[in-house]
Chain A
Amino acid sequence: MADFLLELRCEEIPARMQTGARAELEKLFRRELDAAGVAAGELTIWSTPRRLALIARGLPLATEAVSEEAKGPPEGAPDAAIDGFCKKAGVTREELTLREVKGRMTWFAVRHAPGRPMVEVLSAAIPAIIRDFSWPKAMRWGAASISTESLRWVRPLSGIVALLDGQVVPCEIGGIAAGRKTIGHRFHASGPITIDSADDYAAKLREAFVIVNHEERQDIIRTGAAKVAAAAGLTLVADEGLVVENAGLTEWPVPLLGRFDEAFLDVPPEVIQLTARVNQKYFVCEGADGKLANAFVCTANIEPRDARVVVDGNRKVLAARLSDARFFWEQDQKTPLAVHAERLSRITFHEKLGTVADKALRVAKLARWLCEEGIVTGDPALAEQAARLAKADLVTEMVGEFPELQGLMGGYYAAKEGLPQEVSEAIRDHYKPVGQGDEVPTAPVTVAVSLADKLDSLCQFFLIDETPTGSKDPFALRRAAIGVISLILGNALRFRMQDVLRKAVEDDLEKFEKVFFGHADKGLGAFFAERLKVQQREAGIRHDLIDAVFALGGEDDLVRLLARVHALQAFVSTEDGTNLLAGYKRAANILKKEGFAAGEGAQALSYTPEAAEKALIDALDAAAPRAAEAVEAERFADAMAALATLRAPIDRFFEEVTVNDADANKRAARLGLLARFRDAVHQVADFSRIEG
């Protein structure tokens, strides 16, 4: 058994690509070994900005010998057939042997592939891995790039270490030959380092100020940053993304704490954090009061002679960035949001859908109407005001610099301007919820604006047929629909979707029909049903039960719909429910065969019913109105309980009564009875849609 070390060295690999590169290296190494019939076993894969490393332990010294046999054409077959077979099998004609198969002499190609030494397998595998390696973006470099066929890598590839049990695996690609020499830290180490084997690799690099294990570097940054913060009496604001990114930027990470001018704390904390994180990759800290402190933690890649020099340099850069941020913050406030909002008329929302100002106006009308109708309990005037201003921050300097602060900045500016709190909160939170699991707003004015904004986007894009297909959803309409559903359910908003959508297209019936029904039932109505199923799947709600309720038609009050679905799901999981469903299916099948439509139920009897027949009639007489009444009152569990009383009578009916009686009267009456039973069940849901 042998241990293998591979190191691929290059100029600085972008931090964001290192995780993917490790996976790619593992995938390609396994592919190569699989092709040679060797199990790669457990692999260790590490990365730094300047190298990818792989250690495979316990590899065999040689692959197994294999012999393969292929049956060819019979003796005397045309030459072309025999030559073709030789070519396919990769043998010469002289190497073929004849054997008898079912009395006919037949050509066979027998190939003995002897076991190959592992070193030979790896010699071929390493160049193949490098050539086939897929980077998000790759480049050419150097003199060889006079041809576009030259090797591509993420940045210039500069060295390869390949050692199998301490012996160099000879191979070469792009003018780089594998060897045992590597280099250490760019500044703390000089000259080449000679690696003996996989065993001393990490230790020798450590001596040369390179921690090759990325997880160890992440750990140093995570705990080190927390420690320097604690030493200053502060708490680090944890940020795992920054931990990984900084580990991808350093071979010898050294977290250092610095301070910035306290005066910058006037700027909203989100802005400071974003400035520090996005532009400079710094962590921020909180004081004992939980508020953002005037401190940052940067991660150096050296043990500096004097840490104060490095920290001071970083402080200056951050100060310049924060000055810009403060300039934006102050500049933006010189203009009221309403004036910023005027500039939205210069921003295209979508080439077919006018400007953002047009959108804001539509949303404002709809938000106001939602409040006026009492669908949302907010103040209509405030909802309209908030919606008119909600997008204004898109033209501010700050959001221009940090687009992810949209909403938040508008909220701050509205508050600074002294607008009502409901308005500033609605501006701040109107993008929420962003996808499933995000916090759902509950403040009424916010709910009105958020709902109106999302409904408007959905209607407008459906109107111009820009609907999501497959993995493509460029306008995030699925997320918008999930947002609408979450707002409705989270706030128990009661309304018929059709009414609201009609209002959203300004009562234009033609537009409404286009939006709601679309082409071939691909309208917004079906889209919401689909999204509801997706959204409810996480809550463990069965999609067929949602279909069963939707199939009744006309139910587009989502709160009521789900209440019904919940009751139904509880019911069908009981023994009564299962049996009732079986009885229902039997009845429905008979009726279907006889072409019995709904509503052909009760008829006066011209004969004396059998006991089981009478029992079912009595049970229906009692249960059907009870179920109907309960549904009306939205007591769906009670409706289910009413249906449950039918279970025993229907079972008995099928056991004791012959539906297909010779007497046509009896037969008609009994089919009618089954139809009554089916219709009673349909008051709750279309059981034919229920699976199982």
Chain B
Amino acid sequence: MSPAPPSAAASRDPARSFQDMILTLHDFWSANGCVILQPYDMRMGAGTFHTATTLRALGPEPWSAAFVQPCRRPTDGRYGENPNRLQHYYQYQVILKPSPPDIQELYLHSLAAIGIDPLAHDIRFVEDDWESPTLGAWGLGWEVWCDGMEVTQFTYFQQMGGFDCKPVAGELTYGLERLAMYIQGVDNVYDLAFNTAGVSYGDVFLENERQMSKWNFEVADTETLFEGFRRAEAECLRSLAAGVPIAAYEQAIEASHLFNLLQARGVISVQERASYMARVRDLARSSCEAYATKMTPEWQVKYPGWSLV
């Protein structure tokens, strides 16, 4: 029998490999009680849209999860020509409910784990409050600076889907590419080492960025997108009526992304924009509200005296 292949954790090199940095974060948060989830299998603009964040932020039950979520921001596409901007990138998201008293220390330990020494680098917590009208959500927190660069969004959720968070969850969103560029000391995202075997971020994603930027801005059939938006909206409402709010929420995410694509195609006028945003907001909020309302009896059995409002 050939010798056993190298075992994982011991050989991780977060300073020289994008994937090792992710795996190190997985190790860290797994060891600190999080379920390690896989990305949500839908197109979305931010990790916050993952049901493990939005829907799980509602209700009284404790919940700790960590996952990578690919984010799609069609208007940020630069055809692979900008060293910092991508229409598809990764966020690493941690949600801890209720927010533990040592959440800042945990977070700083996670940075140390991927090789950021706080006496070599200037780490700062700079006020940055978060609000998502789409999700009826807001929170207070910071953007975390490392030598002046924002590397993480740190938020204590106060409301989600228009409901007070009871209890409050702490949410950490690491910008993975930025962090890796910093740790690896490269100025161009495509130069990142994806692994230690010579594969770069550019090898994986450069062509994807070129084609998807072109599709987002030039090719995507706007009639199909409009039609998709209408269908997602209708399906969301149908699902709400049928009492399956998680399915409704998925359709709200779909509508949100289709709206972003229509924006990238430049076919939504300033006047229409507000009305589309309001429609997406109504879908997302109604879904969160329906989910919370549906779950409340179950929650109240486990947490007598707890109430949604």
List residues of chain A with CB under 8 Å of any chain B CB.
11-12, 14-16, 49, 137, 139-148, 154-156, 158, 186-188, 249-250, 280, 282, 298, 300-302, 304-306, 309-310, 312-314, 316-318, 320, 346-348
Starting from the known contacts A137-B140, A312-B147, A346-B270, 19 additional A-B residue pairs (CB-CB under 8 Å) come to A12-B126, A15-B126, A137-B129, A139-B156, A139-B168, A143-B98, A145-B98, A146-B167, A280-B148, A298-B148, A301-B122, A301-B124, A306-B120, A309-B120, A310-B121, A313-B149, A317-B147, A320-B84, A347-B270
Q: Is B127 an interface residue (CB 8 A)?
A: yes
C-alpha gap A12/B187 in the complex (Å): 30
CB-based nearest B residue for A135? B140
C-alpha gap A309/B183 in the complex (Å): 12
- Residue in contact with B147 in the complex, picked from A11, A139, A158, A313, CB distance below 8 Å: A313
Q: Is B198 an interface residue (CB 8 A)?
A: no
C-alpha gap A116/B230 in the complex (Å): 71
Tell me which residues from 95 to 116 in chain B have a Cβ below 8 Å from any Cβ of chain A: 98-101, 104, 108
Q: What are 22 of the A-B contact pairs (CB < 8 Å)?
A: A15-B126, A15-B127, A139-B139, A139-B156, A140-B158, A140-B168, A141-B98, A141-B168, A142-B98, A145-B168, A155-B141, A187-B119, A188-B119, A302-B119, A304-B121, A305-B119, A313-B122, A316-B149, A316-B187, A317-B147, A347-B270, A348-B270
C-alpha gap A621/B283 in the complex (Å): 86
Interchain nearest-CB distance for A329 vs B (Å): 16
Q: Hey, which chain A residues are within 8 Å of B27, CB to CB?
A: none
Interface bits B152-172 vs A (CB < 8 Å: 1, else 0): 000010100000111110100
Interchain nearest-CB distance for B175 vs A (Å): 13
CB <8 Å contact, A146 and B119? no
C-alpha gap A479/B306 in the complex (Å): 52
Q: Hey, which chain B residues are within 8 Å of A348, CB to CB?
A: 270
CB <8 Å contact, A143 and B167? yes
Interchain nearest-CB distance for A306 vs B (Å): 7
Interchain nearest-CB distance for B296 vs A (Å): 14
The CB with the most chain A CB atoms within 10 A, among B104, B139, B168, is that of: B168
Q: Is B146 an interface residue (CB 8 A)?
A: yes
Q: Is B232 an interface residue (CB 8 A)?
A: no
CB <8 Å contact, B156 and A141? yes
C-alpha gap A316/B148 in the complex (Å): 9
The CB with the most chain B CB atoms within 10 A, among A139, A186, A250, A298, is that of: A139
CB <8 Å contact, A300 and B167? no
CB-based nearest B residue for A11? B104
CB <8 Å contact, B124 and A249? yes
C-alpha gap A15/B145 in the complex (Å): 14
B interface secondary structure, majority: loop
Q: Hey, which chain B residues are within 8 Å of A310, CB to CB?
A: 120-122, 147
C-alpha gap A141/B123 in the complex (Å): 23
Interchain nearest-CB distance for B35 vs A (Å): 19
List residues of chain B with CB under 8 Å of any chain A CB.
60, 84, 98-101, 104, 108, 117-127, 129, 139-142, 146-149, 156, 158, 164-168, 170, 182, 187, 269-270, 303, 306
The CB with the most chain B CB atoms within 10 A, among A15, A140, A148, A186, is that of: A140
Q: Hey, which chain B residues are within 8 Å of A316, CB to CB?
A: 149, 187
CB <8 Å contact, A12 and B140? no
CB <8 Å contact, A313 and B127? no
CB-based nearest A residue for B101? A142
CB <8 Å contact, A142 and B166? no
Interchain nearest-CB distance for A178 vs B (Å): 17
CB <8 Å contact, A156 and B270? no
Give the 3 A-B residue pairs with the shortest CB-CB distance, closest first. Answer: A313-B147, A14-B127, A12-B125
- Residue in contact with B60 in the complex, picked from A141, A146, A250, A282, CB distance below 8 Å: A146
Q: Hey, which chain B residues are within 8 Å of A249, CB to CB?
A: 124, 126
CB <8 Å contact, B124 and A145? no
CB <8 Å contact, B98 and A318? no
C-alpha gap A494/B236 in the complex (Å): 66
Interchain nearest-CB distance for A12 vs B (Å): 4
Interchain nearest-CB distance for B56 vs A (Å): 15
CB <8 Å contact, A16 and B99? no
- Residue in contact with A187 in the complex, picked from B123, B165, B269, CB distance below 8 Å: B123
C-alpha gap A146/B58 in the complex (Å): 11
A139-B140, A148-B164 known; A300 and B122 CB under 8 Å? Answer: yes
- Residue in contact with B166 in the complex, picked from A12, A147, A302, A306, CB distance below 8 Å: A147
C-alpha gap A49/B127 in the complex (Å): 10
CB-based nearest A residue for B129? A137
Q: Hey, which chain B residues are within 8 Å of A305, CB to CB?
A: 117, 119-120
Q: Hey, which chain A residues are within 8 Å of B99, CB to CB?
A: 141-142, 145, 156
Interchain nearest-CB distance for A101 vs B (Å): 55
C-alpha gap A148/B100 in the complex (Å): 17
Q: Hey, which chain A residues are within 8 Å of B156, CB to CB?
A: 139-141, 155-156
CB <8 Å contact, A313 and B148? yes
Q: Hey, which chain A residues are within 8 Å of B121, CB to CB?
A: 304, 309-310, 313
CB <8 Å contact, B270 and A318? no
A300-B122, A301-B124 known; A317 and B165 CB under 8 Å? Answer: no
C-alpha gap A280/B122 in the complex (Å): 13
C-alpha gap A305/B119 in the complex (Å): 6
CB <8 Å contact, B167 and A318? no
CB <8 Å contact, A346 and B168? no
C-alpha gap A320/B98 in the complex (Å): 37
Q: Hey, which chain A residues are within 8 Å of B158, CB to CB?
A: 139-140
C-alpha gap A55/B269 in the complex (Å): 58
Q: Hey, which chain A residues are within 8 Å of B170, CB to CB?
A: 141
Q: Hey, which chain B residues are within 8 Å of A154, CB to CB?
A: 140
Q: Hey, which chain B residues are within 8 Å of A313, CB to CB?
A: 121-122, 146-149, 182
A148-B164, A187-B119, A302-B119 known; A142 and B100 CB under 8 Å? Answer: yes
C-alpha gap A14/B269 in the complex (Å): 37
Q: Hey, which chain B residues are within 8 Å of A137, CB to CB?
A: 129, 140
CB <8 Å contact, A142 and B168? yes
